[in-house]
Amino acid sequence: MTDVAARLLYALAALLGRLPWRWLMRLADVLAARSLRRDSREARVVRCNLELAYPELLPGQREQMLQSILRSTARQLLGTLRLWTRPHAENLALIREQHGTGLLDDAIAAGKGVIIVAPHHGNWELLNQWLAARTPLAILYAPPESKVGEAFLQRVRASDDNAARVTQVRAEGASGVRQLFKRLAAGGVVGILPDQQPKRGDGEFGPFFGVEALTMTLVGRLAARSGAAVLVAWCERIEGGDGGGPAYALHVAPTPDEVADPDPRTSVAALNAAIERVARRDPSQYQWTYKRFSLRPSGRGEDNPYWPSCYRR
């Protein structure tokens, strides 16, 4: 039943993905306007995040940023459905600029393994496809609560275009970490979305936009023990798309050496600083719909800033 439901979801996504880009973007704009008008849960989460991350802005400025973020997020969502269900060669043609890719080539050639940290900025699914076209890689992912949702993600991320080149590793338990260490020890490439909040006890607090955020320590541990290079990469939307669709610039950049520091507090602070530099390039392209700061440092008396206004009514 799970597989059947996942196949049905894929068929619906593929049908939607056949719409012209211009239609998809217009539909996304309608969804964003509806979210703002109804003050959806996502809109409330974004508003709360902006109050935390950009306290220096006037309320009207944050409201303008909120509108841009909702519009960008909706376009990202519908655009990703298309990218998941169209030939990868067609998708990769949307990348009009590439910056710093020699850093990846050099790191692979060094043979010590490569950790790609990919913030939730721009289109990280297109980045996955670009990486898979360039090198075999293992992708760490947090499984959705829904088994159908996980089966759908397995299907779209391991399509016929890259099924032999992408290994999807569940972010659960020691077995997943062992798989990543094994891949790095063999000089391979590992991709990690670094700005997902881990469970309490599985991370360390570090500053992110001036706010203490529980951050995964896995990147630092992998780097310190393996000696692998750590690079940050993202696909950022730019002007110049055809037919009303998007165009992208792909970036690869180094991370601070402190990411591999054995002290977890130092490591996560450096990792967050690298992510923040990317997110500040164009805040509308960052995933502000995520409750990044819901877990607070113990002993400070801080409450969950999203409760209760940002939970379902």
The structure tokens 């541990």 sit at 221
**What is the distance in angstroms between the CA of the first residue and the CA of the last residue of the chain?**
31
State how far the Cα of 280 lies from the Cα of 300, in Å rounded to an integer. 28
Using one digit for the tens of pLDDT, what is the confidence trace for 23-32? 999 999 999 9
265: confidence class by pLDDT, cuts 50, 70, 90: very high
Q: Indicate the DSSP class of residue 204.
A: E
Tokens of 193: 């979305």
Please check whether residue 260 is in contact with residue 231, taking contact to mean a CB–CB distance below 8 angstroms.
Answer: no
Using one digit for the tens of pLDDT, what is the confidence trace for 49-106? 999 999 999 999 999 999 999 999 999 999 999 999 999 999 999 999 999 999 999 9
Helix axes 59-85, 147-157, angle to 10 degrees: 70
Using one digit for the tens of pLDDT, what is the confidence trace for 202-245? 899 999 999 999 999 999 999 999 999 999 999 999 998 888 88
pTM: 0.94
Instruction: Please tell me the number of Cα atoms within 13 Å of 175 on its side-chain side.
Output: 4
State how far the Cα of 98 lies from the Cα of 27, in Å rounded to an integer. 29
Using alpha carbons only, what angle is made at residue 32 by residues 30 and 243, rounded to the nearest 5 degrees?
A: 60
Using one digit for the tens of pLDDT, what is the confidence trace for 278-294? 999 999 999 999 999 99
Q: What is the mean pLDDT of the chain?
A: 93
